[in-house]
Structure 1
Amino acid sequence: MTEQVTNTSAHFEGEGVVSFTAEPLGEIRPGWARIKVDVCALCGSDKRLLASGAAVVPGHEVIGTVVQSAEGAPAEGTRVLVYIPVSCGECKACLDQQNNRCYNLESLMGWQYDGGFAEYMDAPPQCLIPVPDDIPADVAVLALDTFGTAAHALRLGSRTQPGGIQNLLVVGCGPLGLGVVAVALAMGIPRVSAWDPNSARLALAEKLGATAATDMETINQYQVVAEVSGAGPARASAQNLVEPGGAILALGESNDPYVMPATPRWRRTDCFTVRSFYFPKSEVNDNWDLLRSHGAHLRDTIMTPTRLSDLEETFTRFLDGEYVKPYITHEEI
């Protein structure tokens, strides 16, 4: 890959403005590999960078093909996931394949280093995970934030329940919430319910196989509640609906603090609160199996292919709720 190869990349200028540059590819950072981006999905967290502007090329849900390898990286021609945490590889967590818990984690792909809203991107070897040949790119990308994060949270939640999770409520049916629904069903959780104030999003959860929750007032209904919106009212509902001894999976992101209510019931209730980040590499193989069973159905239910050149319009439609989980592809649409 030399100067004659041009890389088109997107840049977030702030206030929703996206610009593009087409520049010759430069030298690769020593020890890193280069991939040709096949798919880069949009994430709700990207909205913050779209509003504020970004110093790097955004995009952190990436599937690509290695075009220039490096020591410790997959060979050229290998399809890979881009694992977001740029972990140190040397601490106790990393040596145990718990790279999402890296003691020295400071940077993320697409946040502190250039990401996948481009034709090419570079990444360190520890951030590249080979993709099985039988899983197409537009399904494999779900193995990152949508399936990977959901599966990790459910596995942590199941550790709090001696008989595993039998009764789950998902509050918030955005992309991650719908991912939790799909993963829970793939894991064989017997009763999966969902709630969202947006009837169209709730209908998507039902299409995936969840039951719509109709009573959001009666306390002590659900063994485990996955709160995926981050909204204050949704958090309050989760804290009311969870059974004594149950667990709340606090997945929704918000700039507001997570607050536990100072009510008599809450003071007198046993409850686990589980906060998780992303997923460890040790879970990747199990996640491929989950994707094989439910990934294509989730893709067909929530994903929309779009072009890199249309990224600003795609984000507008994403923010408006027209698109649930759009993704950039460089293949024919």
Structure 2
Amino acid sequence: MTDTIVNRSARFEGQGRISFAEAPMGHLREGWVRLRVDVCALCGSDKRLLESGSDVVPGHEVVGTIVESRSDEHPEGGRVVVYIPVSCGECKACRANQNNRCYRLEGLMGWQFDGGFADYMDVPRQCVLPVPDDIPADVAVLALDTFGTAAHALRLGALTQPEGIQALLVVGCGPLGLGVVAVALAMGIPEVHAWDPIESRLALAERLGATRAEDLESINRYQVVAEVSGAKPARDLAQNLVEPGGAILALGESNEPYTMPATPRWRRTDCFTVRSFYFPISEVPQNWDLLRSHGALLRDTIMSATALSDLPDTFQRFLDGEYVKPYITSEESS
């Protein structure tokens, strides 16, 4: 039993302050598993918690090893990723393995439940997904927000296009935008262009195999535009560049409302706007295959390994743009 483990975890106090606490883990709940955190990646959305503070331990892109289990389907020693929606398992969506669409969602790991900026974390059984033996932890973590979210959005976008996606523009080359580039290429989308105002980020997209977008002034340029920054200029650009009959994948998060312009051109543009959240469990096998072909390249292009004890410095370097996609890694697993 692991109820004598003293767990070290990060606490986000608000206004950019991170402290650490140590406390015994206590008794593991029925139907839950206890993980040693092997990898926990930083996400752009964590910056909001860094500023506002959090009542729980943040960190929602997690790969771990089960050290104790009270779930018959998840044995000790198994390597898993943490699926962040804590779904009910009973509603119409959950019964169809569309847990990201749960009608009675309880919350998210790392947001309403303690997450992975810690040595150990407890996870309910519905949020535990086994990792294939041939995929290392620092690639497997990309199966979550970076590959999983990107792949789901592209699949939804493809449903709007009778011949599938033939030409894609990715606006915003942060971690998720670069994930969209990598997934699009892994899916075999013939034409993948990218744009970002930061030259170094755009160069990373080119390194992954995207083509730099040159003409950002003409209207009706792209069949599908993935807007991944959430910034108003980027949203305006996507709405200007999408073809009639095309689709905008609205992936960028922002505190500003998503609006549609009151212009003659936009009123006369017949197109789809697609908003997606995370990915359904039904897509996980396909996502492992995508990772096998392009995951290692994306890891080597954007990821940087650090330690939990260095988290304050890691976040500062993340905020400064020095790190694109940093992650903490356990000494035991490395």
TM-score when scaled to structure 1?
A: 0.98
Q: Distance in 2 between matches of 1:191 and 1:234?
A: 20
2:68 aligned residue = 68
- Tell me the SS of whatever aligns to 2:165: coil
1:266 aligned residue = 266
Q: What's the offset of the Cα at 1:25? A: 1.8
Q: Distance in 2 between matches of 1:254 and 1:5?
A: 39
Deviations 1:281-309 (A, max 9, x none): 00000000000000000000000000000
Counterpart amino acid of residue 33 in structure 1: V
Q: Distance in 2 between matches of 1:5 and 1:229?
A: 40
Runs of 4+ residues deviating >6 angstroms? none
CA contact (8 A) 1:33 1:73 kept: no
Deviations 1:136-182 (A, max 9, x none): 00000000000000000000000000000000000000000000000
1:89 aligned residue = 89
2:38 aligned residue = 38
Deviations 1:167-205 (A, max 9, x none): 000000000000000000000000000000000000000
Q: What's the offset of the Cα at 1:71? A: 2.6
Single out whichever of 75-84 and 25-34 deviates more from structure 2.
25-34
CA contact (8 A) 1:73 1:126 kept: no
Q: Distance in 2 between matches of 1:113 and 1:244?
A: 42
| 1:217 and 2:217 matched | yes
1:278 aligned residue = 278
1:239 aligned residue = 239
Q: What's the offset of the Cα at 1:18? A: 0.7
Deviations 1:67-117 (A, max 9, x none): 111235411100001000000000000000000000001300000010000
Q: What's the offset of the Cα at 1:266? A: 1.0
CA contact (8 A) 1:83 1:127 kept: yes
Q: Distance in 2 between matches of 1:153 and 1:202?
A: 21
CA contact (8 A) 2:30 2:71 kept: no
- Tell me the SS of whatever aligns to 1:27: coil
1:104 aligned residue = 104
Ranges in structure 2 where 5+ consecutive residues have no aligned partner: none
Counterpart amino acid of residue 298 in structure 2: L
CA contact (8 A) 1:181 1:208 kept: yes
CA contact (8 A) 1:230 1:252 kept: yes
Q: Distance in 1 between matches of 2:34 and 2:330?
A: 16
CA contact (8 A) 1:2 1:25 kept: yes
CA contact (8 A) 2:229 2:252 kept: yes
Alignment RMSD, CA only? 1.0
Single out whichever of 41-50 and 62-71 deviates more from structure 2.
62-71
Q: Distance in 1 between matches of 2:110 and 2:325?
A: 17
Map 1:83-232 to 2 at 5 A: 83-232=83-232
- Tell me the SS of whatever aligns to 1:8: strand
Q: Distance in 2 between matches of 1:2 and 1:43?
A: 29
Counterpart amino acid of residue 145 in structure 2: D
Counterpart amino acid of residue 57 in structure 1: V
Q: What's the offset of the Cα at 1:3? A: 4.6
Q: Distance in 2 between matches of 1:219 and 1:72?
A: 56
Q: What's the offset of the Cα at 1:4? A: 3.4
Q: Distance in 1 between matches of 2:171 and 2:73?
A: 39
CA contact (8 A) 2:64 2:81 kept: yes
Q: What's the offset of the Cα at 1:232? A: 0.3
2:48 aligned residue = 48
Q: What's the offset of the Cα at 1:5? A: 2.0
Number of equivalences: 333
TM-score when scaled to structure 2?
A: 0.98
| 1:308 and 2:308 matched | yes
Q: Distance in 2 between matches of 1:295 and 1:265?
A: 39
- Tell me the SS of whatever aligns to 1:68: strand
Counterpart amino acid of residue 53 in structure 1: G
- Tell me the SS of whatever aligns to 1:146: helix
